[in-house]
Chain A
Amino acid sequence: MSELLNNILFLPEAASTFAERIDFLHHFVVGTTMVMSAAVGLAALFFFFRYRRRLPAQATEYVVPTLKTEFLFVSVPLVFFLAWFGIGFRDFTWVTTPPKDAMDVYVMGKQWMWKFAYPEGPNGVNVLHVPANRPVRLLITSRDVLHSFYVPAFRIKMDALPGRYTQIWFEATKPGTYQVLCTEYCGLSHSKMLAEVVVLPEEEYEDWIQEQRRGRLQDRQDALADNSLVPPVARMVEQGQVLAGTQGCLKCHSVDGSQHIGPTFLGMYDREEKLDNGQTIRVDEAYITQSMMDPGAHLVAGYQNVMPTYQGKLQGPETAAIVEYIKSLRTPNVREGASEGPAYDAIQ
């Protein structure tokens, strides 16, 4: 019965404990709505035919409702509405109050991807692995604008707000892969901000998390072997180059002078940049650092203000390393006159 109704109503597969509750109420509400709309409509239709006009200036009776009728008009809808509200609010309280034994996952929305992080485990982009039949609490935030984390199959949704965490929880009931969509308009590629939840059986999930942890441990040992706490400048440049890759800088900034979402890093240092407010600014260490922390403060003319802030995401030495890397991409002054060889150093 409920399967059939779900098909008629185009509801997606119900794959969480919350989805089962929602679908019950959904059927109740939609069913009553249909019956009531039909009743009102049929009553009206009946009246249209029964009481059609026979004389152009026909007189009618003066009919007014009795107090009893008016009471009925108010109380019947009120009882139904409050009943739905009661059930709905019970379920809402349930889904916004995670159980104590829930497993935590941090979810971060960012134009235009979802990032997932486990407190004691791996990070991931656009794929969330969770075990079946175990409550999972999502701690949701955003790095730029509003997003909203929506899994139709679980019937859950919660806004991602920059600067604060929201939470919601679910318990997936069936292993499988389910779509995640962003439902709060977040700019150009709002409709491409898709991800998926992979629900694994308990054992498979344990295996997966072990494997991920192994990778992480290896990284940590590598880091310990690297004993230079204050790296020399040459190392800083290397470190900055790696950081620029892992932090996503190079997704928007090219290093070979080509046009991209942000200004190219090539030759950026010590350049006079024209800003979108008409002023100019010389790119120095201070400006680069400020642009990482508050990208909109002095926006270079011709570029959109789409860069997220790295405030709190980079540590001091990391910021310095990226600055050094950008400095290393300086182009030597091009000399006047005949060419004496390549004007630009080769870039690795």
Chain B
Amino acid sequence: MTPSSSIAAPGATPAPEEHHDHHPSYLVDGTTIKSWLLTVDHKRIGLMFLFWVLLFFLVGGIFALLIRVELLTPGPTIMDAMTYNRTFTLHGLVMIFLFMIPAIPAVFGNFLLPLMLGAKDVAFPRLNLLSLYIYLGGAFIALWGMLNGGLDTGWTFYTPYSAHTTTTVAPVLFGAFIIGFSSIVTGINFIVTCHTMRAPGITWFKMPLFVWAIYATSCIQVLATPVIGLLLCLVTVENLFGFGMFDPARGGDPVLFQHLFWFYSHPAVYIMVLPAFGVMSEVVATYSRKNIFGYRAVAYSSLGIAFVGFFAWGHHMFVSGQSTFTGGLFGVLTMLVGVFTAIKVFNWVGTVYKGAVDFRTPFAYFCGFLFFTVFGGMTGIALGTVSLDVAWHDTYFVVAHFHFIMVGATIMAFLAALHYWFPKMFGRTYHEGWGLVSAALIILGFNATFIPQFLLGNNGMPRRYYEYPERFQALNVASTAGASLLAFGFIIIAMYLTYALVYGKASGKNPWRSKGYEWVSESPPPTHNFVGPQPVFPEEPHFYVDPKKAEVPDAV
């Protein structure tokens, strides 16, 4: 089946685009540079975020490859130790603060939240534009610092090392501090939008699950980000002026830093992965043409993860000298996060049950996502098992685990979102064959990169090692080979999506015949999302029941 024929299947010719002459799509409504840079349209802002986020992903990815090449041999390969230490710091910082945290909320959240709620825009459109410029300002200050002097502490900035290191700490931390404001502003905007801008018919329990996930994420962003902001200020002051906050030589406490750091950075893991869960709830419902199995359970578990996520930070510190009892407490709380995630996984698989599966590129990413989430989540539970963490802590097992759950799940969701909503955003379609090939390459490459790292961790290789004992080499070579496969997959995606952007076939309004709310408007939507009177949403999202047989059931 060729992709084009499957899109324009018989009996389902998409209605010819209704050209409301006075309502051009948001893409062509104003074509000057100024009309983009000063826009308050949430869709254009989302698109600009997409551009920058992809650019930073490229930067972080190049540095990831440099790290993998360096680790090809036990000794020095292509760089010296100091350069290596700066490289992994840059990789971590860029990927976490500039890519993964904003990736799905700032791009797809911005683009879709108002569409999914039947609103014309987010609650504070100008604040929304501001968050883009705050993000860029912080990003460039941090990158400037990374390139002029370079930071070598790792993205965790553990004291007292970060208080002593002679590399440039201040601009990088200041940049990260500024980026935090972007995160807070976006979060507030989304929370207010969910509370005040829902169209008639959209009750809380008829909101699409992607909106639920973004809502839970926003709560974390607003509550946790200020903590790391203050912490980064304290470390900067400590580094510049020698305050004794965290340095025991001056009377400070290095473990205090870790508590404050993980109080943000543990929930931050859910800032990265909850939106991914939201994307997948939409994708699995659309491509299996099924209502979500256990809608409320999935919605509540997002809130549950957000809540419990705040009480699990101490599992990063089992061997930091905290008391045995504290270790146990954080261990149990960590298990609860696993239970909430398990609920989601079971409900996604349940959604496919008695569905009608159309195996497209986004669905292929859903399969990869399912594997990464289950395996990454289960290894997370294994790490939460206190005594096992004593052996694995700060080894490559941890590196592999968090890449599986944070990166694997998030990248799968990001790519699924990119493919699933590509027609919505640009009104064009990509080549389905290339989509499936690259999805297979990426899933394979990801496994080949990180499964060897689990084994490296078992074997005892610590993380952040520039040189390593000979016995670790075979697995490192395997990991590097996997990374190059992964890179190859991304290159293919970049090529066919860029091609589709310019030459892709017109997709029509709703190429997937989805009953997600965002497909009610045109694709691409006009500037104010909906033409004519305020749309009404009588059915719950993803209600694919035969209208003849449908006695509308109550949600569970």
Contact = CB atoms under 8 A, between A and B. Distances in A.
Interface string A147-171: 0101011011111011110100000
B390 interface: yes
Interface stretch (B24-32, B266-274, B350-358, B489-497): B350-358
A17 to B, nearest CB: 13
A92 B386 contact: yes
Given A40-B345, A64-B555, A65-B294, A161 B460 contact: no
Contact of A158 (B82, B254, B289, B319): B319
B166 interface: yes
B203 to A, nearest CB: 17
A9 B455 contact: yes
Instruction: Decide if the interface of chain A is mainly helix, strand, loop or mixed.
Output: mixed
Interface string A51-72: 1111111111111110001100
B354 to A, nearest CB: 5
Interface string A81-109: 11011011111110111000000000000
B502 interface: no
B382 A63 contact: no
Contact of B160 (A29, A144, A183, A306): A144
A185 interface: yes
Given A40-B374, A53-B289, A70 B297 contact: yes
B551 to A, nearest CB: 9
B342 A63 contact: no
Nearest to A67: B556
Most chain B CB inside 10 Å of its own CB: which residue of A52, A95, A164, A184: A184
Given A70-B297, A77-B338, A190-B465, A181 B460 contact: yes
Interface string B1-18: 000000001111000000
A59 B513 CA distance: 11
Nearest to A33: B378
Interface stretch (B39-47, B327-335, B442-450): B327-335
Interface string B229-257: 00000000000001000011100001100
Contacts of A9: 455, 458
B388 interface: yes
A187 B165 contact: yes
Given A44-B349, A89-B386, A162-B249, A152 B459 contact: yes
Contacts of A150: 394-395, 460, 462
- Give the bracket for the number of chain A residues in contact with chain B: 35 or more
Contacts of B419: none
B379 interface: yes
A185 B248 contact: no
A88 B386 contact: yes
A47 B349 contact: yes
- Give the bracket for the number of chain B residues in contact with chain A: 35 or more
B390 A182 contact: no
Interface string B154-198: 100010110011100000000000000000000000000000000
B465 A59 contact: no
12 contacts: A9-B455, A26-B388, A63-B353, A65-B347, A73-B297, A95-B390, A152-B459, A152-B460, A161-B254, A185-B158, A188-B81, A190-B465
Given A29-B388, A48-B357, 16 more contacts: A11-B458, A12-B460, A26-B391, A33-B382, A47-B357, A48-B367, A52-B357, A56-B10, A64-B555, A65-B347, A157-B319, A181-B462, A183-B462, A184-B158, A305-B166, A309-B249
Q: Which 9 A-B pairs have the closest CB atoms?
A: A163-B248, A152-B460, A59-B546, A88-B385, A91-B387, A183-B394, A191-B465, A92-B386, A33-B378
Interface of A: 9-12, 21-22, 25-26, 29-30, 33, 36-37, 40-41, 43-44, 47-48, 51-65, 69-70, 73-74, 77-78, 81-82, 84-85, 87-93, 95-97, 144-146, 148, 150, 152-153, 155-159, 161-164, 166, 179, 181-192, 194, 294, 296-297, 304-306, 309, 311
